[in-house]
A = this chain, B = another copy of it.
């Protein structure tokens, strides 16, 4: 079934893409086969990560970016990653609804993803959703996350260009440094410029960049001031993204980034295979069951149990 869906995805069928994403999200058996089918045809989309503390206007900016790229006739996919517990889903729902003004446009596809409880599942699902949107023909894929490094989805590992948003109001800079957001930004976006204070935030960031000499593969992070609601500064931001894109192409950074991403993907793939293997293959009386029971009864150390399970897994996978 997934392979059939994958073939439709490669023909540009967005509904098939949507179904394949759902299969991935729910970890349905065979979903991997669909991914393997489309994977050789991916790598065309440009992936832009958008992150920053809550309340910095990420969704509004995404709206503005969608508008800009659509006016250039580029198709856009949007992934909204929500690693928070359902306890706070109410707050995010509003943002999503705001983005729906583009929902009638066939050139735009918006998808939100939340954790399903399985460890690492969100990063894995996000990465694969990017491949699917790539395969279905989206020119630009925007991925919105909250926070960074410390959260389940480290956007800078996934995106070609990472935007870090902060409020013109200021006060976020020190917090951002602590959160590791300074290290991941290719472009800083100081949003809500209408509130005033963007100049002082800009000089704070410049000061820190100067002091720490941050640079990602030779790229010195740039700073753009926007007011996403009125659309001010958005053209300049899109231009800056293009400059970063060209920079990556010319110095080989794009290929390097994508190799790093491939490594991350394989790690996640392996981790989820192992988890599925243990959860699905364990049965009363079986060898796997015995190893786990022995470990549980303290008759076996974790090290020796792990070795035995890997052996079983390697044999079984053939």
Contact = CB atoms under 8 A, between A and B. Distances in A.
A273 interface: yes
State the number of copies, please.
2
Contact of A40 (B146, B150, B262, B298): B298
A303 B37 CA distance: 11
A191 to B, nearest CB: 17
A238 interface: no
A28 interface: no
Interface in A265-318: 265-271, 273-275, 278-279, 282, 291-293, 295-296, 298, 301-303, 305-307, 309-311, 313-314, 317-318
Contacts of A302: 32, 35-36, 39, 265-266, 269
A150 B154 CA distance: 18
Contact of A150 (B85, B150, B314): B85
A313 B313 CA distance: 11
A106 interface: no
B36 A147 contact: no
A114 to B, nearest CB: 8
A119 interface: yes
A296 B314 CA distance: 23
A120 B118 CA distance: 10
Interface in A142-186: 146-152, 154, 175, 178-180
Given A179-B85, A274-B267, A318-B307, A295 B117 contact: no
A310 B317 contact: yes
A221 interface: no
A220 interface: no
A317 B308 CA distance: 10
Given A85-B179, A274-B274, A298-B42, A292 B152 contact: no
Contact of A298 (B39, B53, B271): B39
Interface in A89-125: 89, 114-117, 119-120, 123
A269 B301 CA distance: 11
B85 A148 contact: yes
A84 B50 CA distance: 19
A318 to B, nearest CB: 7
A86 interface: yes
Contacts of A85: 146-148, 150-151, 179
A252 to B, nearest CB: 13
Most chain B CB within 10 A, of A154, A306, A307, is at A306
Contacts of A310: 270, 273, 310, 313-314, 317
Contact of A175 (B42, B87, B148, B313): B87
A117 to B, nearest CB: 5
A26 to B, nearest CB: 15
5 contacts: A33-B303, A41-B298, A117-B149, A263-B292, A267-B275
